[in-house]
Every structure is written in C-alpha cells, then in structure tokens.
Structure 1
Amino acid sequence: MTKFTDLELDPKVLKAIAEAGYEEPTPIQAQAIPHALQGRDVLGIAQTGTGKTASFVLPMITLLGKGRARARMPRSLVLAPTRELAAQVAENFDTYARHTKLTKALLIGGVSFKEQDKLIDRGVDVLIATPGRLLDHFERGKLMLNGVQIMVVDEADRMLDMGFIPDIERIFKLTPFTRQTLFFSATMAKEIERITNEFLTAPARVEVARQATTAETIDQHVIEYSPSRRDRAAKEKREVLRALIDQEGEKLTNGIVFCNRKSEVDILSKSLKKHGYDAAPIHGDLDQSLRTKTLDGFRDGEIKLLIASDVAARGLDVPSVSHVFNFDVPSHSEDYVHRIGRTGRAGREGRALTIAMPADEKYLKAIEDLLQREIPRMESPYNPAPTRSRSKKATEADTAPAPDAAEDPGKPPARRSRRSAAKTAAPAKAEPAPPAAEDAAPKAEAQPKPEEKPKPAARSRGRGKKGGEDKRRQDEVVGMGDHLPSFIAMSFEERMAG
C-alpha cells in the first residue's frame, strides 16, 4: 500500500499531512502526484470527492519551495469555477503549507478589489481565482501572468457548463508557453478534450474511475411521484420531501437539498422553515458574506439542511454529509454525479434520494444512460387523501338531466347558447293557438297575434308603396337629398297602429 512518505514530497509538506491525520493517498493522489513532481502536464479524470484538490496542491507546494515571488507576478495559478471551490482550495493550501513561507491570494467576486490589490502588490506564490475576477484584475493593470510556472484548472467540466471556456482559453494565452499544466475534470466533453489537445503538452493521463461514475458507498434511490392535481404539484412535491426527511429520522445527520432554479431554492427554504425544519438557502444571487456564513454554519453543524442550487454542487468539502436530496432532477446528467458526490466521501457511506415527477422522465433516462445502470426505485412515503377534482364536478353537471322545455318554452336553460335557445323556442312559435270555434280557425291561422308580428312588415305597409324585400332594402338607405323616406312623414301613432 502506497503512503505519502513514498511520494517524494517536501518534508515540511509531509509533516503537515501527518498533522492533518492522513497517511495513505487516494488513488488519484497516488497516481497524479509523481507525474506532477516530475514536471509533466497531468490530465486527471476522477469522480468528485476522490481528493483531486490535494493531487495538485501537494506537488505545487513542493515545487514552489525554492524561489521567491515578485510583485504582481504570481508564480502559480489555480482556476476554479465557483467562489466556494476557490475558497476550498485556499483552505487546503493553508493546511498543507503551514510549515512553509509560501504566500497566497484569493481572487473571487464579492470581495473588495482594494484588499486583493494589496496582496498582489506584495507578491504571492500561489494565486487562486475565479476566471472573471482574475481577468478584471488583469485588465485593470494590477496583475501580470508572464511569471506563472504552474497552472491548474480544477473542475474543467463545470467551467464548460458555466460558460467560462472562452475566458480559460484567453488566460492560457496570457501565461508562458513553458508552464506546467495540471488539468482536472470529472467528465471529458468534446470541448474539454479540444482544450487539452491545444494547451497541454504530452500530458500524463490519470483516470482512477470510469468517466461520470458515482461512488459505490452511496445508496441511491428514485422516488417517482405523480401529483393528484396539476395545480397542486409544487405543494405536494414539497410534502414528499418533508415526508422523506421524516422517514430518514436519526440517520439524517445533515443533508443538502438541490434545486434547479434559484427562485425554487428560496421558496423551498422558507417552506421548510415554516414547518419547523432547520434549513438555510445558498445560491449565486446571495451576498458572498452571507454565503460564507451559511457554509460555515453547515460545516459546524449549526444548520442541518442546506438548500442549494448547482453553485454548491461542486466545491463543498464537508466530509460528513449523510444525505443528498435532489428536489429537482438535474437537466444535465453530469450534474447528478456532482450533486450526489457531496455525500459518501472519503469512503464514508452516504444516501442520495431523487424526487422524479412524470415530466422528469427524459432527464432520469439520460442520467441512467450516463451511469450505465438503473437507479433503484423507492415508494413515496407521502400518499395524499383523494380529492374531488373540478373536472369530475363538471362531468357530473354535464350529465345531469336537462329541465323540461315544456315548463317554460320561452326561457332557455342556463348556459345554453342563443342558437340552442332558438331551436327550443321555434316549435312554440310554429304551433298555432287553439281556436275557440271551428269558424275561427282560418282567421287565427291567417291573422297572427299582434305581439308576434315582425316590425319590418309593419314598416312596408306604412309606406303605401310596393311591399317586399327589394323595397325594404331600398328604403333602409337614408339620405338627405330630394328623396324623403315615407317613414319620416308617419306619426308615431300611425306606425304603432300599422
């Protein structure tokens, strides 16, 4: 079994490792560190939680043991996709470089430029930064990268997801061609492979696990749930999560709940707090000081449930996370690997539970295709009481017997169209009134009731001219010339008598 003492690291580094309680390196560390100490470029591919950070921090401290940094010209550069991951690298550097005189600077957003400029002006051996903030300092003329001897790109696939690849290519071109490059990623997309072919020179490829695999120590399950009604889907989904948390009981010491959207993070966090759960949100829109405070509280055990967006899927180094809940199935299958990689770290057992709705079927299939295996299903602990849907009520109303038309033939039933009402009333008009005697029948048929007589017929008789449709159409055109329409000369009484 390989030990850290077998890796030819600086004695000061070995002392710090022993004080941290480590004796044996992880597989990625055991394979990557020797190549890095030889000055070779390294392409490391390993699942999250396997110790990639120490794979480049330990040899970097050893290689930088000799030499001195100059103002505004860092000797090494570490690029990380998120503030949290950059802060984690800085913590690792502080742990393993405690017995050396090496200096570092952390360049991330949400922190004053002035304080960061002071550190750069003094000269730093290790510069840890996110791509955007690094380029901000460079464009302000506060930083030069032509003295970089070692360059590290961590979580390169996450860089691709966040759109940092153009920035990474630009930074590569600002550094010397003779630099040593250590490139680490959990997956190898085509764009990542293109960059490694362009900027790495004969790299030593270190792959300790199949690409996009999950740790065997993680117990994974999918809870498939169909809401009782579409308008209740969001509410019932939160109830499913609460039922899962309650079901885990004492086995849940702490956990991370992942959502796809920042807005959902805030909604879910407030809902859990309302129901008495110890939860706090973290996402990219929060102030950096609040994000740091929340993470520290989670690490210290003051916060039991961390509700997070994918900004926290990588870069959270909390070894004892017992559970990961995927409140939303990730739309990118690789994100599933990184999310559940927050649990089951360093050989510990972990549990990952994913809530899948019917609309998530295609995303779930993509995840299983990536893992090349089916994730076991688990029955939902939440079973709501059946509710009477509106559609059922509407169906009962539609199938109810209609009122008898003979009761009120002149008034159509409620919610009927005018056309339906006309069809109902038509037979009543066509049926003649019963005659008082036999000789009155012809007169009743020839003489309709006054109230049923159409008004256009009365107008045509009042004109004293030819009746009929043609004459009515002509008289309907009203002008102010020599022609005076006959109805204007009629009195109101004459028109009503007609």
Structure 2
Amino acid sequence: MTFDELGLTPEVLKAVAETGYTTPTPIQAEAIPHVLAGRDVLGLAQTGTGKTASFTLPMIDKLSRGRARARMPRSLILEPTRELAAQVAENFEKYGKYHKLSMALLIGGVSFGDQEKKLDRGVDVLIATPGRLLDHCGRGKVLLTGVQILVIDEADRMLDMGFIPDIEEICKKIPFTRQTLFFSATMPPEIHRLTETFLHNPARVEVSRTSSTSATIKQVLVKTTRDGKRDLLQKIIEDENVKNAIIFCNRKRDVSTLERALSKSGLSAGAIHGDLDQATRTRTLEGFRNGTIRLLVASDVAARGLDIPDVSHVFNYDVPSHAEDYVHRIGRTGRAGKTGTAYTLATREDGKYLSAIEGLIGNPIPGPDSAVPQPAPEVPGETAAAEQPAEPDSDTATAEPAGEKRSRGRRGGRGRKDKDAAAKAETATADADAIAEPVKSEEAPAPEVRAQERETQAQEHNRREPNRHSDEKPARRERGGRGRGRDDDDGPRVVGLGDHVPAFMLRAVKLPKKSSKDSDDEMESETEEA
C-alpha cells in the first residue's frame, strides 16, 4: 500500500513525497482512513512506528477547509513534554508546507506575550502541554469552544506525569461533538478507563501487541555493581565503537553527574532533564540531532516519542522503576526499520524492576554474548584491603572515635557526659557485686535479725552525732529559710505507730450482740478486775 491509496489531498501527498516516504507504516495505513472519515480513534502501537504522522497528515487535510477565529483554535493536540510538542509542530510545518494553516505552540519556558500574539490572530492547530494551556485559559486568552479535533498523544505518559486531572478539566471546556484521537504505546487500566470516558464508539487500531518491543532492537542485559557501572558504560562505548547513544538515568542529579564524568573522559556528551531551561534543552537536542553531541544523557523527559533519526544505541544506566518506561526508552533506537542496540545495566537491587519489565514485554532480556566486555565489578580499593591486614596507624591508634568527636563538638560536651554516666554505672555495678558476694557465700540472715541490726545501727548513729549542724539551723531560719535541712535531727526513733495513730483506728466499733450467758461471764470478769 502507498500513501496515494489513503485518500489524502495532492498537497499533502506532495509534501510526504518530498520527505522521502512512499509506504505508510501499519498504524498509518489503518488510522488515517478512520480519521478522514470523522471517527474517534484509539491507536495502540509500539513506539517508533509513526503514530505522529498518523494524525498530523489527516488533520492537515481536514483543516484545509475553513478559517480560524481569534483566540478560538480549531484543533488541539496535547503532549506531555515540551520536546514532544515541538516535534509535532515540526511535523505540521513539514507536511503542511503547501497549506496556509496557522499554528501555535504553548509550552513552558517561553514568554506568554509571544504566545498570546499568535492566539489573538487565530490558529488552526494549537499544540500545547496541559499546564501551560490551563494557564492561558485562566488568563482568558484562549477559548476551547471552537475545537473540532482533539488529540491526546502519549496518554500513558500523561498518566505518569499526573496530567490526567488537567486533561479531564480541559475536556470539559471542549464541545461534546468533537472528534477525539487517542494514541499511546501502552494501555494501563487507568488509561483504558479514560478511553471509555473520552471516546465515543472509537475505531481501535492496534498494529502490534501492546507494550511490545520492536524486533529491530537487540536487547542486552549486563549485570554489574553500583560502583562499577560507570566504568562498564565507558568500556562498552569504547569497545562497541558507539556512533551515538542516549543514556537514561532515573534521577536528574544523576544525569548531570554522569554527563560531567563522560565529558571529563574526553567523550562528547550533553545533558537534558526537566530542570533545564527550554533554550538549553532545545540547543542540546539540536546538537545531538546534527551530530555535534555524541552521547545524550537524559531523564525520562526524552523517553517518549522523540523522533531522533539513526540512534545506534540506547543505554539504561538505571533500570526504570516503571516497566512501561523501558519500552519507550529502548524505542529511541531501531526506528523506521533501522536496527539498534539497547543495553540495560542492572545491579542486584534492580531485581524486582527487571521482573516487572520481563513480565510486560513477555520474554526475558537476554544476557551479553561473548563479544560484549564484562569487566569485573570490583569496588576500587577493596581487593588490596582484603589481601593485606590493616596495620594500626600510630597517629590514629589511640584516637577516639569520630562519633564522639562530633558529639562533643556539635552538642556541647555530650560525649563527656556519656563517659561520666558510664563510669558511674560501672562503679555502681562493682559496688553491687561487692555487696552481693558475701550473700552468695554465706547464708542470708532472717528478716527479724536484719531489722534488729538496722535498729542498732540507727541508735548508734544518733548517739554519735545527735545534733549535727545544729549551729547552722538557727542562722538558716533567721535568713528566712523554710523547711527542714537535709541533715536535721529527726529526734528519737519511733517504734510502731507512736503518736501518729490513723483516725480510722480510733473510731468506735459496733460489736455484735452477745447472749445472756456471755454477758454474765463478762460482768463477772469486770468485777474481779475491779
């Protein structure tokens, strides 16, 4: 099948022919006729199969009839990242060169003023990221009531980035009679629920198994350690004579760190992640496209939909935590029928992520063949330390631990307090052992004997120091001191209750009634006592 058989206008066919394409990809061949017929389309295909052209070509054809009004775009394309939005804009410029269609690109990192000027003149095609579009809607600079065609591209990436609530809000502002085109490489359950909400009797176009990888990509899994990962990456790049490659990291700071390390090693490298300004990201991507940058170290911002031709290798420097991201990452190579190689550098901690990826793609990732270098994953310095026993250094053998130094320096002598407490505890333990020793060797005295000994000791103490510090007590009272001192005399030792009889013991007790015989006996006993 050729593009001539799809029902496109001669102007569109001419622009396509000038780009060098003659045969449509499977998803293009199936989706374009449905879009031209005005049906909703649910397009599912692995990345790198030409999904972008499957909706841009028929949209140019349909929008060629009509005229845009100020602030009311006729079509809307939602993209998850700025790079994808800019790439779709390039496709419209390339394929719509023979049509007088106006276009606006609403992405972050660009001033609102230039974007508002284009909206005021009226646009046929509005390409936007959800956040920036809602900002313009809040300012009252764009009205979506005139949208005839809505395209949601890379829907699964929208889900990962948290854009689904924004998309739902945007869809409420668009007429119900719109035509909706929904494209994605994977179809999680959440995305399936959205398709049931947004699409009306859609034509499902699925040219390959969802979440599958392209057969033109050679996948290689190399196991290593965290510390040996960077050396392994550089060795593969040198031994494989990599033409160009995209190296994916999970975290933005790792992207910058790895890019600096590769540049110091003499390799041409650039970095791209979400914290960079738009001008830097655009300049880096352009340098990678034209070959001035050999290695592009990127976060997942570059994993979805970027059409960079002739990428020979993809490296998963970090195993992606989401299995769907693996499909998108390696899809940056082996595009348009070309072959490519995707390496995944995995550590022992990545086991559960690898299991999820292999379960998604339906087969295990093969290991390296004999031609792939595998340096021993050793931590620098560990081998030498294991072979030779460590000798104590004269300067550090008697030094105190670093933790105690930090404790004293930062927390105001906490280390000294800990030492004093430990010394007191040790002394108390020794005293307790000394006291307990005779008890173990001799038979313990009876309780009555112990009580008598304590009473004798107390009497002896009172006899020796009856009025200790008695001369200080009057002076303390004259100064207004209150209460008893620690060494005041307690007076004679109280035996039993003494004068401190509880009140309940002085209360009269009602005795039970007695018989006459008991009463006579009691009276006789009282008479005898008298």
* Bin of the TM-score, shorter chain as denominator length: 0.7 to 0.9
SS at the partner of 1:289?
helix
* C-alpha distance after superposition, 1:388-420 (max 9, x if no partner): 4768888999xxxxxxxxxxxxxxxxxxx999x
Q: Give the match for residue 456 of structure 1.
A: none
Q: Give the match for residue 9 of structure 1.
A: 8
Q: Give the distance between the partners of 1:391 and 1:170, measured in 2 at CA.
A: 62
Q: Give the match for residue 488 of structure 1.
A: none
Q: Give the match for residue 382 of structure 2.
A: 387
**Does structure 1 retain, via aligned residues, the 8 Å contact 2:89–2:127?**
yes
SS at the partner of 2:192?
helix
How far 1:482 sits from its partner (Å)? 5.2
Matching of residues 122-271 of structure 1 within 5 Å? 122-226=121-225, 233=226, 235-249=227-241, 252-271=242-261
Whichever of the two has the greater Rg, that structure is 2
Q: Give the distance between the partners of 1:21 and 1:349, measured in 2 at CA.
A: 19
2:22 maps to amino acid: E
Q: Give the distance between the partners of 2:85 and 2:218, measured in 1 at CA.
A: 29
How far 1:199 sits from its partner (Å)? 1.4
1:132 maps to amino acid: G
Q: Give the distance between the partners of 1:161 and 1:95, measured in 2 at CA.
A: 30
SS at the partner of 1:205?
strand
Displaced runs of 4+ in structure 1, greater than 3 A? 388-397, 478-483
Q: Give the match for residue 443 of structure 2.
A: none
**Does structure 2 retain, via aligned residues, the 8 Å contact 1:257–1:308?**
yes
Establish whether residue 302 from structure 1 lines up as the match of residue 308 from structure 2.
Answer: no
Q: Matched residue pairs, number?
A: 413
Could you state the TM-score of these two structures normalised by the residue count of structure 1?
0.78
Q: Give the match for residue 486 of structure 2.
A: 479
Q: Give the match for residue 371 of structure 1.
A: 361
SS at the partner of 2:228?
helix
Matching of residues 337-352 of structure 1 within 5 Å? 337-352=327-342
Q: Give the match for residue 412 of structure 1.
A: none
How far 1:237 sits from its partner (Å)? 1.6
Q: Give the distance between the partners of 2:108 and 2:384, measured in 1 at CA.
A: 50
Task: Report the CA distance shift for 1:26/1:146 in structure 2 as closer, same or farther (over 3 A).
Answer: same
**Does structure 1 retain, via aligned residues, the 8 Å contact 2:48–2:305?**
no
Gaps of 5+ in 1: 227-232, 398-416, 426-462, 484-498
Q: Give the match for residue 486 of structure 1.
A: none
Q: Give the distance between the partners of 1:284 and 1:386, measured in 2 at CA.
A: 36
How far 1:315 sits from its partner (Å)? 3.2
Aligned residues: percent identity?
61
* C-alpha distance after superposition, 1:346-405 (max 9, x if no partner): 0000000000000001100110011110111126522247734768888999xxxxxxxx
Q: Give the match for residue 79 of structure 2.
A: 80
SS at the partner of 1:132?
helix
How far 1:115 sits from its partner (Å)? 0.1
1:365 maps to amino acid: S
Q: Give the distance between the partners of 1:392 and 1:138, measured in 2 at CA.
A: 68
Q: Give the match for residue 119 of structure 2.
A: 120
Establish whether residue 284 from structure 1 lines up as the match of residue 274 from structure 2.
Answer: yes
SS at the partner of 2:382?
coil
**Does structure 2 retain, via aligned residues, the 8 Å contact 1:322–1:349?**
yes
SS at the partner of 1:277?
coil
Q: Give the distance between the partners of 2:375 and 2:294, measured in 1 at CA.
A: 22
Q: Give the match for residue 438 of structure 1.
A: none
Q: Give the distance between the partners of 1:273 and 1:60, measured in 2 at CA.
A: 43
Could you state the TM-score of these two structures normalised by the residue count of structure 2?
0.73
How far 1:479 sits from its partner (Å)? 3.3
Q: Give the distance between the partners of 1:225 and 1:274, measured in 2 at CA.
A: 22
Q: Give the distance between the partners of 1:380 and 1:175, measured in 2 at CA.
A: 55
How far 1:244 sits from its partner (Å)? 1.4
Q: Give the distance between the partners of 2:14 and 2:322, measured in 1 at CA.
A: 41
Q: Give the distance between the partners of 2:325 and 2:236, measured in 1 at CA.
A: 22
Establish whether residue 325 from structure 1 lines up as the match of residue 324 from structure 2.
Answer: no
2:374 maps to amino acid: P
How far 1:246 sits from its partner (Å)? 1.4
**Does structure 2 retain, via aligned residues, the 8 Å contact 1:326–1:354?**
yes
Q: Give the match for residue 304 of structure 2.
A: 314
How far 1:481 sits from its partner (Å)? 3.3
How far 1:11 sits from its partner (Å)? 0.8
* C-alpha distance after superposition, 1:405-449 (max 9, x if no partner): xxxxxxxxxxxx999x99xx9xxxxxxxxxxxxxxxxxxxxxxxx
Q: Give the distance between the partners of 1:206 and 1:479, measured in 2 at CA.
A: 94
* C-alpha distance after superposition, 1:22-66 (max 9, x if no partner): 111000000000000000000000011000000000000000111
* C-alpha distance after superposition, 1:191-210 (max 9, x if no partner): 11111111111000000000
**Does structure 1 retain, via aligned residues, the 8 Å contact 2:334–2:340?**
yes
Q: Give the distance between the partners of 1:334 and 1:180, measured in 2 at CA.
A: 27
* C-alpha distance after superposition, 1:295-329 (max 9, x if no partner): 00000000000000001101321121000000000
Q: Give the distance between the partners of 2:305 and 2:215, measured in 1 at CA.
A: 21
* C-alpha distance after superposition, 1:197-256 (max 9, x if no partner): 111110000000000011100000000113xxxxxx3x422111111111211xx11100
Gaps of 5+ in 2: 393-421, 431-456, 469-484, 491-530
Higher mean C-alpha displacement, 382-391 vs 58-67: 382-391
**Does structure 1 retain, via aligned residues, the 8 Å contact 2:289–2:309?**
no
1:238 maps to amino acid: R
1:320 maps to amino acid: D
Q: Give the distance between the partners of 2:285 and 2:231, measured in 1 at CA.
A: 26
2:36 maps to amino acid: L
Q: Give the distance between the partners of 1:75 and 1:140, measured in 2 at CA.
A: 19
1:145 maps to amino acid: L
1:59 maps to amino acid: P
Q: Give the distance between the partners of 1:388 and 1:26, measured in 2 at CA.
A: 54
SS at the partner of 1:339?
helix
Q: Give the distance between the partners of 1:327 and 1:388, measured in 2 at CA.
A: 25
**Does structure 2 retain, via aligned residues, the 8 Å contact 1:247–1:381?**
no
